[in-house]
Amino acid sequence: MELSPLPLLLLLISNIVSQHTEEKPKARVSIKPAQHVFRGETVTLRCDVYSEGVTSWQYIWYKNSSTSVFSDLQELIFSSVTESDAGKYSCYGAERDISCISRLSDEVTLTVSVPRAVLSVSPQKWLTEGDSVTLICQVNGSSIGWTFSWFTETVSSDNSNQYKQLSDSSRGAGGHYTVSSADLKHTGVYVCSAERGKPAYNSTISNTQPLWVTGEFRLNTE
């Protein structure tokens, strides 16, 4: 994120703010879409100060409790957030003639991670024909806001992985893909992936989960 030059006035405010200990309005940091986001998303942090009679504020941001001024903008916009943008952010505001200086906001922690898909099986991987089984796909522990795709994985003759999307993968909505009556043809190795946002960005391909389906045992009474 490109930062604008800091006016000398704001540096002066930064130096004297600790001297103002009487009760003053407190700055507040809001963050959208969430405090935990994934690499590549757009994130906006905004500093607001609510005080009667003050309509024109200047803003000071700090990161990771540093005494160095991070920015003088009311909004910090990370158009494609990376792990280096993660940290603890706080801010305060000052009226332009320095007649009113707010208290420092509480710190807000921005966490940035790579979206990793994780696949699990319930209740078990070993099945008999007719059993029900559910493949559960999550991204960093959550299924909210993601669209899931489901695949079988095979290894080609050159040892590269090949993925074939399941034709009925719409049943995977909400992170669950359920086979209500397992058949021998369901034996195989499964993976999943997820995407979110516009333009869409993707999670990693999940870990593999094998399913084994055996024929139903029937006692021969003849």
Structure tokens at 120: 């699990």
137 and 48: one domain? no
105 and 175: one domain? no
pLDDT value at residue 12: 53
Residue 220 in any domain: the answer is: no
Domain boundary residue, one of 57, 88, 113: 113
Q: Write the DSSP assignment of the chain as a string of letters.
A: -PPPPPPHHHHHHHHHGGG--S---B-EEEEES-SEEETT--EEEEEE---TT---EEEEEEETT-SS--B--SEEEETT--GGG-EEEEEEEEETTSS-BPBPPPPEEEEEE---EEEEEES-SEEETT--EEEEEEETTB-TT-EEEEEEEEE-TTS-EEEEE-TTGGGGGGGEEEESS--GGG-EEEEEEEEETTTTEE-PPPPPEEEEEEPPP-----
20 and 99: one domain? yes
Residue 219 in any domain: the answer is: no
12 and 68: one domain? yes
CATH of the domain at 101: 2.60.40.10
Residue 1 in any domain: the answer is: no
**Strand bridging mode 43-48 / 28-32:** antiparallel
72 and 55: one domain? yes
126 and 191: one domain? yes
127 and 98: one domain? no
Residue 88 in any domain: the answer is: yes
pLDDT band per the 50, 70, 90 thresholds, residue 19 = very low
Contact 87, 45 (CB under 8 A): no
Q: How many residues in total does the chain contain?
A: 222
pLDDT value at residue 128: 94
Domain boundary residue, one of 88, 113, 138: 113
Structure tokens at 131: 């059993």
Asked whether the predicted pLDDT for residue 213 surpasses 60, the reply is yes
Mean residue pLDDT of the chain comes to 85
Asked whether the predicted pLDDT for residue 8 surpasses 50, the reply is no
74 and 153: one domain? no
Residue 107 in any domain: the answer is: yes
Residue 138 in any domain: the answer is: yes
41 and 69: one domain? yes
108 and 35: one domain? yes
127 and 53: one domain? no
Structure tokens at 30: 């809001």
Residue 3 in any domain: the answer is: no
Domain that holds residue 105: 8-113
Tens digits of residue pLDDT in 175-204: 899 999 999 999 999 999 998 777 677 889
Bridge partners (DSSP) of residue 31 are: 45
Asked whether the predicted pLDDT for residue 31 surpasses 70, the reply is yes
Domain boundary residue, one of 79, 113, 147: 113
| Cβ neighbours for 144, distance < 8 A, ≥ 6 positions apart | none
Question: How many angstroms separate the CA atoms of 155 and 172, rounded?
Answer: 24
Mean pLDDT, residues 104-130: 94
Residue 2 in any domain: the answer is: no
Tens digits of residue pLDDT in 42-101: 899 999 998 877 778 899 999 999 989 999 999 999 998 999 999 999 999 998 777 788
Domain count for the chain: 2
127 and 40: one domain? no
pLDDT value at residue 21: 45
Asked whether the predicted pLDDT for residue 1 surpasses 90, the reply is no
Task: State which amino acid sits at residue 8.
Answer: L
